[in-house]
Structure 1
């Protein structure tokens, strides 16, 4: 069910290539009429759910009385390739290798509940292709279902958002005149910016508005299906890495809203650390593909301090954490924050 929250036990006990053309422009985050608590009879209303979650959070805080010192928070973002042809167990190996507290899943439907049950996590199926998993009870859901509010063991509240933004048409392919670009070719930076704004600009603005509505330190994960202006630089263009220099509007919007790109905070040199997440399923010199960084962990808030960010993937030359066989067409990101 779209917008359904599933609550599991609050402990954490780990237990063929898809093209961009195959991912049709399904809109992210349609709004559900109500939010239901799985396993309750009768189903709880949104207000009852909020009350219940707040009570649970208060109980957790009571069990952890004392000075509210800083907490470490591990956040995983992973596109599981339409529930993965490899199955839930293969996706679970990524979670086992990273031990996250919060997970943003993209292209996840049937797998969401199975993964939540396997790892004893709370879950929100945001829409038919995105979901959130949390080791902490979900206390509040934003109006457009992009995000939730959770309370950590040290009593600090954090907002957590996730999205799979519209994937088609995909502007890098349009610039390279690849057929997976939809048959509409682009040649200039201005054309690319306009096309990207048309494709997913409204989604980015709505997601940022949901983040603002929480009035909390916020972490946002996702497959944004658009590169960063911090990667498509003049230097990268001159080196032949990208067809043009481009001030991609999505990453500019996040920056203007006060968010920090976690990967570029740790690795500001785009030439030394490209950080490509798309795609491990194609050879580096494949003329029908363009390797890029389109998966992100963005964050905002004085109480959040980035401690580390790691790429999870198929080989040591492309990833900090290696999982083999690697089950999906996007490398994952694991960000570790100090909160408080």
Structure 2
């Protein structure tokens, strides 16, 4: 009898698992370097890659709204010419695309004097409301350059800071923390409403998960273990870094997104600190975990090469790459995340 009951329970459990259905959606975080205009054929490449990958959501960084028209309006029109329907809305500096109609949009942190921006849209997917945020945070006072001996505001050589306190003093001059505080306040309302919350962006700041004891003597970290504040604030608020959820091994999976090698552009235009190893992961997709949402897969989208001390170098890591099909339109590598939402 006991054996029969055990067998019945196993059968029922298996049937329950089989009965569960899942919806998958993808989020592409992509810094497009002034809308791809720096690279010959860059804009067309952005369009072609979105047509190829068909991401459900795209969070853009370095939207500049050139050509007397809004970039997101222009890209939506270009995608329509290729038979792809996307939705977007007003944005500066950062932008959003959705394959699903937008029911609400919010300016969370408006662009002011190049100190970054955060925008939000709300849509529905798999019977759930989804709030997708995009961010391109303040690029001034980039303290991770100071660690390499470069001023993060003027990009001139300076003495290398000797303490973490010196680094964080520079970091505090930016408005990145302010932008994330605005995001967290807005996102809390979404979470309370039961929405899925996603944040993609170029934070212009490394992660506290990457500058740790094991890496303190690598990549010109100069022995410093830095609690970088933006990813740490998100971590403390309960948000998860999709890349580190999937690849917690920092040494084998560093996941560098900047500076990316681009064979169409001279090396000196791809690096702010030509004598330093400035490889970092500064492009992220964060999400608020719940029992229904999981990270199924993450890949770095872009070339394997990085610019290291003014040289082109291919990464020797175990990071998984999705290579571009042609022209690469930017000096960043993108992050493509596949989420699984159980019903």
- Mark yes or no: TM-score above 0.5: yes
**In the alignment, what sits opposite 1:275?**
255
1:127-142 matches, within 5 Å, as: 128-142=92-106
**In the alignment, what sits opposite 2:7?**
none
CA 1:138–1:240 in 2, change beyond 3 Å: closer, same or farther? closer
CA 1:241–1:288 in 2, change beyond 3 Å: closer, same or farther? closer
Q: Pick from 327, 332, 338: which aligns with 1:325? A: 327
**In the alignment, what sits opposite 2:275?**
287
**In the alignment, what sits opposite 1:220?**
199
- Deviating beyond 6 angstroms after TM superposition, the runs of 4 or more aligned structure 1 residues are none
Deviations 1:55-75 (A, max 9, x none): xxxxxxxxxxxx994310111
**In the alignment, what sits opposite 2:29?**
77
**In the alignment, what sits opposite 2:119?**
146
**In the alignment, what sits opposite 1:124?**
89
Separation (CA, whole Å) in 1 of partners of 2:105 and 2:304: 37
Separation (CA, whole Å) in 1 of partners of 2:106 and 2:73: 20
- Bigger radius of gyration, 1 or 2? 2
CA 1:94–1:289 in 2, change beyond 3 Å: closer, same or farther? farther
| Residue 309 (1) aligns with residue 309 (2) | no
The alignment's C-alpha RMSD in Å is 2.4
Aligned to 1:83, the other structure's residue is in SS state helix
Measure how far apart 1:143 and its partner are: 5.3
> Structure 1 residues 230-239 or 279-288, which shifts more?
279-288
> Structure 1 residues 166-175 or 274-283, which shifts more?
274-283
Measure how far apart 1:308 and its partner are: 0.5
Measure how far apart 1:146 and its partner are: 2.2
Paired residues of 1:138 and 1:148 also in contact (CA < 8 A): yes
| Residue 242 (1) aligns with residue 255 (2) | no
* TM-score calculated relative to the size of structure 2: 0.73
Aligned to 1:141, the other structure's residue is in SS state strand
Q: Pick from 96, 99, 113: which aligns with 2:73? A: 113
Measure how far apart 1:162 and its partner are: 0.6
CA 1:241–1:180 in 2, change beyond 3 Å: closer, same or farther? closer
Paired residues of 1:142 and 1:214 also in contact (CA < 8 A): no
Paired residues of 1:142 and 1:210 also in contact (CA < 8 A): no
Deviations 1:105-135 (A, max 9, x none): 1112243212212132000232x21111000
Separation (CA, whole Å) in 2 of partners of 1:179 and 1:256: 29
Measure how far apart 1:239 and its partner are: 3.8
Aligned to 2:88, the other structure's residue is in SS state strand
Aligned to 1:136, the other structure's residue is in SS state coil
CA 1:162–1:68 in 2, change beyond 3 Å: closer, same or farther? farther
Separation (CA, whole Å) in 2 of partners of 1:179 and 1:197: 14
| Residue 177 (1) aligns with residue 149 (2) | yes
Measure how far apart 1:326 and its partner are: 1.2
Unmatched 5+ stretches in structure 2: 1-18, 109-117, 262-266, 306-313
Separation (CA, whole Å) in 1 of partners of 2:44 and 2:162: 43
Aligned to 1:116, the other structure's residue is in SS state helix
CA 1:275–1:241 in 2, change beyond 3 Å: closer, same or farther? farther
CA 1:181–1:150 in 2, change beyond 3 Å: closer, same or farther? same
Q: Number of aligned residue pairs: give it.
A: 272
